[in-house]
A and B are shown apart, each in its own frame.
Chain A
């Protein structure tokens, strides 16, 4: 079964590595949400984006659970539009990397599953 996980079908860690800069550049260049992603330590911020993509790709299981995701985002007071913008860039990133639409849908579904935690509601 593991052979057929979304993570493996997307290409595993190599796919995450390929996607992380495409994705991080997109959110950083987006004036609507870039301020959430600006950080003195950009490498650390980029590492967070990698953790997020690993999660959205259905990656290895030990990603923080929903309570941690909630706690990590609570202070940011994110709005629905912020979440939607990130989803947009996730989709665009995968499309740019020629990921088939069905797999993009699956990844989007995983990201959507924590929407309420991210938006703290």
Chain B
């Protein structure tokens, strides 16, 4: 069996695991249990056939992306693998930048040739002139004409300040990354998606993919913000609900008193009684989600956005009975003083 790893190819000895072969070549991969349990030694296949035994215990989305446990991987055919953080740079071009609100830009870039992704994943967007990179989740679905990103405009934000003037310019795209993707094989599964700020983008990608796939299970989408203006895509979401019977959208705004918007219900009204399948509540997002009248054991759950909220909800939803294999968490961790 020939293995290609980090540009070097070598032959695997009979009975040798992928990890052992890599170590024999003088490279190292972090490991702990060496029996396919702890997942420390995970690598990603770029081409070739991954033995099923090397993917046991991994999430379905990880398996589809070719992730494997090198310590129990005994290939039966040639295999090209790389570390998970490595990824090539695709060339793309900024096509359109439009404000969705005062705080959020919708950025469309061309889909690079050969770029394959799943709805809900994220990419690193790179400014070619100086290599400035920021992670942005994709709200578009595979097959869309462009990659759609929702970019938070930050005071002094290097990328968000540059993008409005960058239409027509080339940019780099690295990735895709992340496990916040739609699982197409279970059309009846109830889905719950909750995000704050531009954490809505990957959730929208997943919802769009689900609707395109003809998803039959109920879909509950929660968008949280401090202010009404922060629900930057509310009008578009309400239109989406009109076209999709199984979809319910709940907005959570903590400071309702700032809101002149007509569709905002009286503060004390529970969300679901106020406006059919589309309502804004002034209950905090985590409380709204945890109070959802659903069987957590059956749900597939997507959590994106503010890291504290994502982590808190991830834990609480798991304690409420959701299976960890069906919780997709994507905390938007800010690099330095910037954020997506």
Residues of A within 8 A of B (CB): 21, 24-25, 28-29, 38, 40, 42-44, 46-48, 50-51, 54, 60, 62-64, 68, 72
Contacts and interface: CB of A to CB of B under 8 A. Distances in A.
B315 interface: yes
Interface in B22-60: 32-35, 37-40, 57, 59
Contacts of A21: 323-324
Contact of B315 (A28, A44, A68): A28
Interface residues of B, number: 22
Contacts of A40: 307, 311, 329, 331
B327 interface: yes
A64 B318 contact: no
Given A43-B59, A60-B35, A62-B33, 6 more contacts: A42-B315, A44-B38, A46-B324, A48-B38, A51-B35, A51-B37
Interface of B: 32-35, 37-40, 57, 59, 307, 311, 314-315, 318-319, 323-325, 327, 329, 331
B266 to A, nearest CB: 36
A28 B318 contact: yes
B74 to A, nearest CB: 15
Contacts of A47: 37-39, 57
A43 B33 contact: no
Given A25-B319, A29-B319, A51 B33 contact: yes
Contacts of B35: 51, 54, 60, 62-63
Contact of A68 (B32, B37, B327, B329): B32
Contacts of B32: 51, 64, 68, 72
